[in-house]
Amino acid sequence: MYADTVSRCRRLALAGFALLSAADPFRAAHAQAPGEPSAVIARDCDRECLIGIARRYMDALAHKDPSRAPLSRQVRFTENDVEMPIGDGLWGSISGVAATGLEVADATTGNAAWFGTVEEHGQPAYYAMRIRVRDGQIIDVETVVDRNTGLPAPFGDPAQLVHDPAFGEVLPEPRQRARERLIAVANGYFSTVELNDGQLFTEFDPDCQRTENGVSTTRGSAGAAALAQGCEAQFKLGFYRINKRVRERRYPLVDTERGVVVATGFFDHANTFDTYTTTDGKEHKTFLKWPNSLSLMEAFKIRDGKIYRVEAVFTYVPYFLHSPWNDMPVDPRLLPAVSPAQRAGQAAPCDRDCLIGFADRYMTALLAKDEGRAPWGKVVKFTENGVPMMIGDGLWGTISAKSPMPEYAADPTTGNVSWFGIVEEHGAPAYYGMRLKVVDGRITESETLVDRKGNPGVFGDPAAYAPDAAEPPLPAAQRVSRAAMVKLVDGYFASLQANDGHVLTRLDPECVTLENGVSTTQGTAGAAAIAAGCEAQLKLGIFKPDDRVRDRRYALVDPERGIVVATAFIDRAARNDSYATTDGAMRPTSTKYPYSIGLIARFKIRDGRIYRIESVTAFLPYFLRSSWGP
C-alpha cells in the first residue's frame, strides 16, 4: 500500500511538472543556460567545417547572392549594430572581397569570424564578421564595417594589410589557458582601456602589438605610437583616458588551442572634457568635442596568459547605441506607475506660451548641465540621434552654449513643443532640433537631433544662421486643418521616396529648403546646382538615391501658424553608384556605401501649400530604427 501511494505521488508530480512546463514555456526554456535551446549542444561542425562555412558566406557576399550561403530561414543579421534583412546593407553595395582574411573558429559555441577588407563601388572598407552555425546552417551574422568617412580614426591602406600569422598558430599545451581564463584576460584589456588612468587590469607580452583598421597603433610615428611604443607603455601613459565606458562586452569566440578570443563591444567617448593629462604630466586635446561611440569587433592572441597581438575593426556609431545581440529588457516591475491622466495625454491645460516656457526651462537645465532644473514626469523617455539614453548623458555632458534666439513651435492639443537652433560643445558649434512632450505640467519625452561639423553631410556656417522672423498667426483664409497639413507633409516624404518626377503634395512656387543651415534649393552647390526650388527638384528626380523615407511621425501640428514638426529616417542603400534623372541624364551618387539620415524638420504651410522646410539632419548607421515607434 505504501509503495503504491509513493508511486502514485511520483506519477502525479511528474504529470504536474509536465503540465507546468507546457503551460510555462519560459520556465521550460530556462532548464538550461539562458539563450541555449538545449542543455547539450551538438558539436558536429569542427574548426575546419566552421571556417569553410565562413568562406561560403564571404563568397555569397562577394556575389551579392545569399542563396550561395547555408543560411537558416530564421537567420538574424546585423550591420554596425542595426538589425536588417539579410541581403540589405553591404550586400547591396559590395563590389569586392579580399582574397584572404584573419579566420577564427570556436567549435564549442559554433561561431566563426573573418577579419579583412571589402570594396563598395571600388571604395575600400574594413570589415569584421561573426557567424554562428547550428545544424550546418548559419543562424547569426554580426558584422562591423568601417568606411573612410573622414572622421579621426585609423584607416590603413588595404593593399598593405597583413594579418599576423600568430593568430593561426597552435600553442604548446603549457602556453594554453582555459576558456574562462582567456576571456578574463581579454576582459581585463577592456577594463584597462576604460577610464585609462595608467592602472593595468591584465598582462601584456613585452612584444604586444595592435592593429586597428589596418593601421599599427603601437608602432611607428603617428597617433598613440608617437607617444609610446607597445601596448603596455601606452596604457601606463593613460593615453586612452577619453574612454568613459567599454560596455556590452561579449566574447562569442574562444579558441583555446590557439589562444584566440574574439570580442565585441562599444567604446563610449562622452567627451565631457576637451583636454586631459597623461601620467607623464602632459596635456592633450581630445580629437572630437562631442559624444561618440565606437562599435568594435576585436581579436586577441594570448600566450602564457598574456596579450600578444590585437587586431580590431571598429567604426563610429551614434553615442550610446545599443547592440541588438545584448538585449536587456527593462523589468516592468521597476517602472514607476503611470497615472490615468498621463496615459490619456495632456491633463492640465498648457497653451503655446506655457509650452515654450517648458522648452526654455529644459534648455536652461541643459546648458547648466543640471537635470534637476527641469520638471520631469514619473516616466521620461530621452533620445539623442535616435538612441535612447539617460538624461545627463550625451549633449548634457558637453554643451557650452546655445542660441539666444531659437525657433519655437508649439501644439497645445498634443502638449508638444520644439526648439531649433545652434548649440556649442566646448566651443564647437552644432545644429540642434528638439521636441518635448509635456503632460500635466511635467516633461515626459525629449527627442533630440544634433548634427556636428565633421560628420558626413551638409553643414552651414553657424555665424550666418538666422532663424525665421517671429511667426504671427496666419490669416484665417490661409489656414488648413491639422489633417490636411499632415497629408501635405506626408505627401512631400512620399514624393522623396518615389522621386520619379511625380509630386505628391502641393508646393508654393517660392518653396525653399534649408538643411543644417544650408539652402539646398538655392545657390550653386549640391542639389541647388542641378535644379532650383522644391518642385523643380522633385520633378527632376534628383533624390532617386533615397530608397525609403520611413518611421514618419508628425507629433506637433500648429494650424494657427501653419507649422508641422516632423521626424523621419531616409535610407540610402547605395546599390548603384549612378542614377538617371527624368531629363535622361546619368548622375553619380555622392556616397558609395549604405547609410541613413535622421531628420527633424519644420514645415511651413500657407494657403494649403508648403513654402518653407527647415531641417536638422544627422548621418546615422544604415537602417537604424526609430525608438519612438510609428
* Stretch 15-30: mean pLDDT: 44
Tell me the whole-structure pTM to 2 decimals.
0.90
Supply the mean pLDDT for the chain: 92
pLDDT greater than 50 at residue 2: no
d(CA 462, CA 375): 30
Q: Which parts of 459-570 fold into alpha helices (H)?
A: 482-498, 534-540
The tens digit of pLDDT for each residue in 356-413 reads 999 999 999 999 999 999 999 999 999 999 999 999 999 999 999 999 999 999 999 9
Hey, what CATH topology would domain 41-141 get? Answer: Nuclear Transport Factor 2; Chain: A, (3.10.450)
* Stretch 591-618: mean pLDDT: 97
At residue 45 the predicted structure's pLDDT band, cuts being 50, 70 and 90, is very high
Looking at residue 18, its pLDDT comes to 43
Q: Among candidates 626, 630, 622, 627, which has minimal Cα distance to 84? A: 622
SS3 annotation, 260-308: EEEEEEEEEECCCCCEEECCCCCEEECCCCCCEEEEEEEEEEEECCEEE
Angle at 551 between CA 432 and CA 591, to 5 degrees: 70
First to last CA, the chain: 66
548: left (phi over 0), alpha (psi -120 to 50) or beta: beta
Looking at residue 331, its pLDDT comes to 59
d(CA 471, CA 434): 18
Looking at residue 337, its pLDDT comes to 58
The tens digit of pLDDT for each residue in 284-327 reads 999 899 999 999 999 999 999 999 999 999 999 999 999 999 87
The tens digit of pLDDT for each residue in 220-229 reads 877 788 888 9
Taking the CA atoms of 345, 349, 352 and 357 in sequence, report the sign of the dihedral they define. negative
Record the cell numbers describing residue 231, joined without a space: 601596448
CB 216 within 8 Å of CB 155: no
The tens digit of pLDDT for each residue in 363-375 reads 999 999 999 999 9
Hey, what CATH topology would domain 341-452 get? Answer: Nuclear Transport Factor 2; Chain: A, (3.10.450)
Looking at residue 526, its pLDDT comes to 80
The tens digit of pLDDT for each residue in 101-128 reads 999 999 999 999 999 999 999 999 999 9
At residue 338 the predicted structure's pLDDT band, cuts being 50, 70 and 90, is low
d(CA 64, CA 576): 13
Q: Where in 561-629 does DSSP place strands (E)?
A: 563-572, 578-580, 586-588, 595-606, 609-620
| Residue tagged 598582462 (cell numbers) | 203
Q: Which long-range contacts (CB under 8 A, 24 or more apart) does 277-285 make?
A: 278/227, 278/237, 278/238, 278/239, 278/241, 279/197, 279/198, 279/236, 279/237, 279/238, 280/237, 284/239
Hey, what CATH topology would domain 479-630 get? Answer: Nuclear Transport Factor 2; Chain: A, (3.10.450)
**Which are the contacts of 555, defined by CB distance < 8 A and separation ≥ 6?**
411, 414, 416, 435, 437, 447, 565, 567
Which one is the CATH code of 148-323: 3.40.640.10, 3.10.450.50, 3.40.1440.10, 3.40.50.300?
A: 3.10.450.50
Q: Among candidates 589, 584, 551, which has minimal Cα distance to 572? A: 589
Residue range(s) occupied by CATH 3.10.450.50 in the chain: 41-141, 148-323, 341-452, 479-630
